[in-house]
Amino acid sequence: MESIKIGLLGFGTVGSGVYSILEDNKDKIESHIQKKLEIKKILVRDIGKQRNVDVPKALFTTDAADVINDPEIGIIVELMGGIETAGGYIKAAIANKKHIVTANKALIATQGDEIYKLACENGVELRYEASVGGGIPIINTLTQSLSANNVDEVCGIINGTTNFILTQMDEQGMEFEEALKLAQDRGFAEADPTSDIEGEDVAFKLAILIEVAFGIKLSPYDIPREGITKISKRDIEFARELGYKIKLVAAARRKGNSLEYHVQPSFLPLANPLASVNNEFNAVLVRGNAVGELLLYGKGAGSTPTGSAVLGDILEISKIMGTDYKAGAPLRNENKGFQLEGEGVSAYYVHMSAKDKPGVLGRITSAFGRYEVSLRSVIQRSRAEDTVPLVFITHETERARLDSALKEIELSNDVSKIESVLRVEKK
């Protein structure tokens, strides 16, 4: 039986998952592809480090060249993270005619086109299923199973850390900082959680989905985004009272010839399937013009879920190695004449702290009116204090109009602080 040798760049959580799955499911894998898969070299920082999987020490190296330049290795799996070093290793491996599998969303979102072009020029495959959604097969679903569809919408919860935090705030009544600490204690959040809680991680993933689903190359740094750090327990309570759940949503929607896209915490109606996605789980909703609505749900991170996605890519490459067939999941920059709208229009939830005095509510609503922001509902809570929470739900409006109105309102003597502004989804 033919043997395919694999090199791993990095051996953290995902790398150990790949190794464990390959060892545990070896018979099934070999029966499926009629080839043997063998991990020959693993790049690590510290060979002597204690690990939670039993790996022969001879497989480890601290020199990337031992992996990249090995003539027997046919597939390089990059699991280091980061952009510059990982990107350099991948480009060197491609130049050496190695097929590439990566879980690196930041690299694919920022340099994916360049790497894919280099892979094509060298006749090798580039796969990155694990870069979005952990174990959820969203990339292959869009590029293969739904390739006959025009995609109208991709919308999802694609960061397990923030979803876990928001779930704890909702179900356990925690404030943000308390829920973040719990996420860190459980291993769902990094010591520095900035990329997750500020929405950067989700913007990387959404940029990949936009290019795969719509053929549009978009910098993740150009995607309107907001994290979850401003959401309070009171916002969660207001959402529940109004019949919503708050989730950090990544969305891209075709509106005629325009494409709207954003990463923002949003009010989701309870009937929306994403509203029931809790804790570290992810889900992606896809609407195609032929298939209709499709929901993919599963664990968005972790050793074995992400390792499973990586192994899926390895198996697909292994099956076509030695043939002329290229199934591929390419990034594609077609830009079909779309007008890029960014955030577009939406209804919004606005929570502010206002002075509890006669005439304040009237002056605030008049300010909204001056910027043509129409209000759907108002909630005022009196607490026998100098300031009270005021909550507005607007009708659909442009975010720029709303921001202008809020700027004027915040500069007045009637409001002490704009606490939060969240999108309100219709369905």
* Neighbour tally for 132: CB within 10 Å: 30
SS3 398: strand
Is 368 among the annotated ligand-binding positions? no
Is 135 among the annotated ligand-binding positions? no
Residue 271 token pair = 């009937």
Nearest to 422 by CA among 187, 234, 207, 146: 234
Residue 397 token pair = 């409006």
The helix (run of H) or strand (run of E) holding residue 240 is: helix 233-242
Is 14 among the annotated ligand-binding positions? yes
Is 255 among the annotated ligand-binding positions? no
Is 16 among the annotated ligand-binding positions? yes
Is the Cβ–Cβ distance between 375 and 392 less than 8 Å? yes
Q: Which of 205, 245, 247, 299 is catalytic?
A: 205
SS3 387: strand
Is 12 among the annotated ligand-binding positions? yes
Note if 205 is an active site residue. Answer: yes
Nearest to 104 by CA among 125, 123, 85, 124: 85
Residue whose structure tokens are 């943000």: 176
Residue whose structure tokens are 């280091």: 80
Question: Which of left, alpha, beta for 59 (phi over 0: left; psi -120 to 50: alpha)?
Answer: alpha
Residue 246 token pair = 């708050």
CA distance 89 to 111: 13
Task: Characterize the bridge pairing of strands 387-394 and 345-355.
Answer: antiparallel
First to last CA, the chain: 53
Is 259 among the annotated ligand-binding positions? no
Residue 379 token pair = 């909630």
Contacts with 411 (C-beta within 8 Å, 6 or more apart), sequence order = none
CA distance 60 to 223: 39
* C-alpha dist (Å) from residue 250 to 133, 134, 140, 145, 260: 12, 15, 19, 22, 11
Contacts with 423 (C-beta within 8 Å, 6 or more apart), sequence order = 249, 262, 264, 265, 266, 267, 346, 347, 348, 349
Is 154 among the annotated ligand-binding positions? no
* C-alpha dist (Å) from residue 303 to 25, 138, 155, 391: 15, 18, 25, 42
Is 10 among the annotated ligand-binding positions? yes
CA distance 121 to 125: 10
CA distance 12 to 130: 15
Specify binding-site residues for NADP(+). Answer: 9-16
Specify binding-site residues for L-homoserine. Answer: 190
Specify binding-site residues for NADPH. Answer: 105
- Kindly list the catalytic residues: 205
Specify binding-site residues. Answer: 9-16, 105, 190
